[in-house]
Amino acid sequence: MVGLILALSKMKIRLSLLFFVVFTFFFACDSNLAKPKSSADGAAFLPFTVNSYIIYKVDEKQYSIIKGNIVKTYYLKELISDSSINNNEVTYTFQRSKSNTIVGIYKIDSVWYGWKNSFNVVKVENNRPIVKLPRQLLRNGQWNGNLYNSLGNQTLTLQSIGESRTYNSVVYENTLSVLHLADSSDVHRDYHYEIYGKGVGLLQMKKVATTNQQESGVIKFPLTIDKGFDITQTIVVYGKN
């Protein structure tokens, strides 16, 4: 009888240990699932601060077989000039001005807007709201850039985060890159990416949209661009007024 009691006691101890191990395993799994793969906040890479500005150098190529190709370089200053409350959210005003030289007179070109909520950081470009970054950044994560407009789904992809990049001899230690579009063929090329720096904002943007020459509906070789554009916008300096 004593032996049986001891055996039952040992069995209870083993079952208790087994239950503890299994419980700990599943608890750990749940904890890992609950934790995001990245704790980075998209708003940190696209901060909206009134009176802050960035000046970019813009290299632009306009292609046209009929009018001829046009190549130009200019400087774009983007200043967050104001903020206001709109639908219980803060809307920021981006005053965009152009100059032929970095120290020249900047003339207002356009006005854009931006806002952020608990989920996304949004910029309204040419009256089109675009989700530039989600608040929770996940490597290789994807989101719909057209979430707040009626243009249909556009998948943006976070390609890298945490990399160091250098622009105009300035090192930006923590950057991320977002691919907007990459679609190329013998007929056309559509390519768009943006790079952001933590605590700064947009560091570089490249956007290409070109079509190649055709003759009677057949692509001509060697490939020659018929029309389109190629724009590269790169940070030169940033600060606060």
**Per-residue pLDDT, 16:** 46
Q: How confident is the model at residue 73 (pLDDT cuts 50, 70, 90)?
A: very high
Confidence of residue 88 (pLDDT cuts 50, 70, 90): confident
pLDDT tens for each residue of 163-205 = 999 999 999 999 999 999 999 998 999 999 999 999 999 999 9
**Is residue 54's pLDDT more than 70?**
yes
| 9 three-class SS | helix
Gyration radius from the chain CA atoms: 26
Residues 6+ apart with CB under 8 A from 17: none
Judged against a pLDDT cut of 70, whether residue 23 lies above it is answered with no
Total-model pTM: 0.82
Dist. CA 76–CA 95, nearest whole Å? 10
Question: What is the band of 39 on the pLDDT scale with cuts at 50, 70, 90?
Answer: low
Say if residue 36's pLDDT is above 60.
Answer: no
pLDDT for 28: 41
pLDDT bucket at 223, cuts 50 / 70 / 90:
confident
In the chain, helix, strand, coil percent, each to 5? 15, 60, 25
Q: Kindly tell me if the per-residue pLDDT of 25 is higher than 70.
A: no
Structure tokens at 206: 């490249």
CA triple 214-220-223, angle to 5 deg: 110
Instruction: Give per-residue pLDDT as tens, 109-144.
Output: 999 999 999 999 999 999 999 999 999 999 899 999
Enter the DSSP assignment of 101: S
